[in-house]
Amino acid sequence: MIRFENVGLRYGLGPEVLRDVSFRIAPGSFQYVTGPSGAGKTSLLRLLFLSLRPTRGLVRIFDQDAATLTRDSVPRLRRRIGIVFQDFRLLDHMTTYENVALPLRVLGTSETDYGRDVSELLEWVGLGDKMWVHPPVLSGGEKQRAAIARALITKPEILLADEPTGNVDPPLARRLLRLFIELNRLGTSVVIATHDLGLMDQHDARRLVLNHGRVDIYE
């Protein structure tokens, strides 16, 4: 599904933040990307999400070389990837329902076709009663679940989550982890970037540990 070979990344003329990173992400797999702050977790996720191009090395995503992708072909690949940010990135002027429905609206799907799915997904993540409110009135955990629902509404093949439990309390973090595990059981590959060791101890999975830009893999 995704293959990195000797990938290096630097910002401008600065030092390499990722060095000789090589790994594969198989369909239906579950892995954590971890490491200390500044180790390059977010940069790695941005490479996975085609938000950055590698300075060197090979990045193949869904059998396509990231280096040769045209600007027009990136959105089509991004639709196969769901992403959840630590800061949620919800649009405050739109309701929770509209935020979750946004990817389908962008695809040009009619509301009559997606309305029920969006409602059911919001019920599923426990936001059925917060469907018509705006993000500023949601708690951190509710915002995170809304962001997860938005990432899942198009049924992506892989879900990338950047510190998804960074802004929530431990009980909610455990519930979010259960949600990711269940998604993985349904066939979605999951990549969680986190430095929360407690979270990783709750569910044993492959770990990509970043340190000084290099990655060590613990199966």
Partner 1 sequence: MMPAVLFSTMAGWIFMNNTARPGRTPPRRKRRVRATHAARAHLIRAADAARQLRHRPGPGDDPHSAMRGANPIVPPQSVARRALLALVAIMSFLACLTVAAVTLVGERADNWQRQIADEVTIQIRPSDTHPIDEAVARAVDVAAQTPGIRSATALSADDAARLLEPWLGSGFDRSELPVPRLVAVSVTADADIAALARRLRDEVPGASLDDHGLWLERLASMARITTLGGFFILGLVMAATALCVVFATRGAMAGNRDVIEVLHFVGAEDSYVAGEFQRHFLVLGLKGAGLGGVAAMILFAMLGIFGRLQGPTPEEAQLRSLIGGVTIGPPGYVGTILTIVLIAVIIAATARLTVRRTLRELD
* Residue 150 exposed, middle or buried by CB count within 10 Å (0-12, 13-18, 19+): buried
- Under rule CB under 8 A, residue 115 binds partner 1: yes
- Under rule CB under 8 A, residue 128 binds partner 1: yes
* Contacting range for partner 1; rule: CB under 8 A; set: 4-12, 19-27, 57-65, 87-95: 87-95
- Report the nearest approach of partner 1 to the CB of residue 131 (Å): 8
Indicate the SS3 state at residue 177.
helix
Contact letters for partner 1, residues 136-175 (x by CB under 8 A) = xx-x-x---x----x-xxxx---------------xx--x
Q: Which of 11, 24, 111, 217 lies at the binding interface for partner 1 (CB under 8 A)?
A: 111
Contact letters for partner 1, residues 19-58 (x by CB under 8 A) = ------------------------------x---------
DSSP states along 28-53: T-EEEEE-STTSSHHHHHHHHTTSS-
- Under rule CB under 8 A, residue 216 binds partner 1: no
> Residue 22 to residues 31, 128, 196: CA-CA distances in angstroms?
14, 41, 23
Convert 82-135 into a string of H (helix), E (strand) and C (coil).
EEECCCCCCCCCCCHHHHHHHHHHHCCCCHHHHHHHHHHHHHHCCCHHHCCCCH
DSSP 26: -
Helix, strand and coil in the chain, % to nearest 5? 35, 25, 35
Q: Which of 66, 101, 192, 193 lies at the binding interface for partner 1 (CB under 8 A)?
A: 101
- Under rule CB under 8 A, residue 182 binds partner 1: yes
Cα(166)–Cα(141) distance, integer angstroms: 10
DSSP 183: H
Q: Which of 63, 116, 204, 219 lies at the binding interface for partner 1 (CB under 8 A)?
A: 116
Q: Which residues contribute to the site for partner 1 (CB under 8 A)?
A: 49, 71-72, 75-76, 78-79, 83, 89, 91-95, 97-98, 101-103, 105-107, 111-112, 114-121, 123-126, 128-129, 132-134, 136-137, 139, 141, 145, 150, 152-155, 171-172, 175, 178-179, 182, 186
